[in-house]
Structure 1
Amino acid sequence: MKLALASITLTAMLAVPFAAQAQAQFAKPEDAVKYRQAAFTLLGAHTGRVGAVVKGERPYDKAAVEADVAVMEMVAKLPWTAFPQGSEAANSKAKPEIWKEQDKFMAAADKMQGEIGKLSTAAKSGDLNAIKTAFGAVGQSCKACHDNYRNK
């Protein structure tokens, strides 16, 4: 498990510098949409795993929760460069408010990343109650962004 966590950490360190360059890499708006949807799908999968532990649907395994949260923390940094102008018309659930309210949208992204950072601290502590509290705050930050910037 330590090897897996080290691998995730290395991947995160290597991926973050490229996230800022991602916007320039989209030849077509559809490419940006695919990129951000892939990031959100991966984020959702790992959030769901932690959520299952928080709800008592899966047994608590500290190492597994830490690994899932580490992936969440890394992936949460990726999708934001994939909202270039012109990608609002592509096959996406993104609301036009994203491009009209860029500052608010990015503030919501920063808030979510901050809450995931707190969840990471809680996961490392091994305190399941702290994990539950931090996970609730992550969920609220995700919901707020979905409510404001995502079509159903």
Structure 2
Amino acid sequence: MKKVLIAALSCLTLLSPAFAADPIAARKDVFEQYKKTFGAMGKTMKGETPYSKNEFAKLAAHLDELAQLPWQHFPQGSDKGKTEARPEIWSKPDAWKTAISDHKAATAKLKQVATTDDMAAIKAQFGATQQTCKACHKSFRND
């Protein structure tokens, strides 16, 4: 219940006028949530935290929800200011859209696989999802 409340409040925050006026802050907030969620999942995959099917499935579902959010916060002109976004986001929109689609498909599949007890499939899809993040960073983010 606590996580649902946090997710709901996060979504409300992202929809607030302040974030609408500052797309860089809005997308950074979403990606910070990504980092926390993906980090918790990674600790489980590494065996640093005990595996709980229900907990991991909740994290995967939250990641899939997050995968729907940041892209709206990359309007034209939001490459100015304190951002790691590369100009290729706007100069190569087809490649950007493909990267987004690939990532959304990967997170959706991870959400689905996370409801099973097939750890090999879960680890493989977690890795595949992680690769979509890395591919996007390589092409569209100044690290």
Q: Percent identity?
A: 35
Find the partner of 1:76 among 62, 67, 77: 67
Over 4 Å off, 4+ runs: none
User: 1:107 and 2:98 equivalent?
Assistant: yes
Out of 49, 53, 56, which is 1:58 matched to? 49
Q: How large is the RMSD of aligned CA atoms in angstroms?
A: 2.6
Aligned to 2:20: 26
**Does residue 86 of the first structure (1) align with residue 77 of the second (2)?**
yes
Q: Normalization by structure 2: what TM-score?
A: 0.87
Distance 1:123 1:101 in 2: 33
Q: Which has the higher contact order (CA 8 A, sep 6+)?
A: 1
Q: TM-score, normalised by structure 1?
A: 0.82
Write out per-residue CA displacement over residues 57-84 of structure 1, whole angstroms, 9 at most, x where no aligned residue.
1111111101111110101100001001
Question: What is the SS of the residue equivalent to 2:133?
Answer: helix
Mark the runs of 5 or more structure 1 residues left unpaired by the alignment. none
Q: Structure 2 residue aligned with 1:123, among 97, 109, 114?
A: 114
Q: Which runs of 5+ in 2 are unaligned?
A: none
Shift in Å, 1:106: 1.5
Corresponding residue of 1:36: 27
Q: How many residues align?
A: 140
1:129, CA displacement in angstroms? 1.4
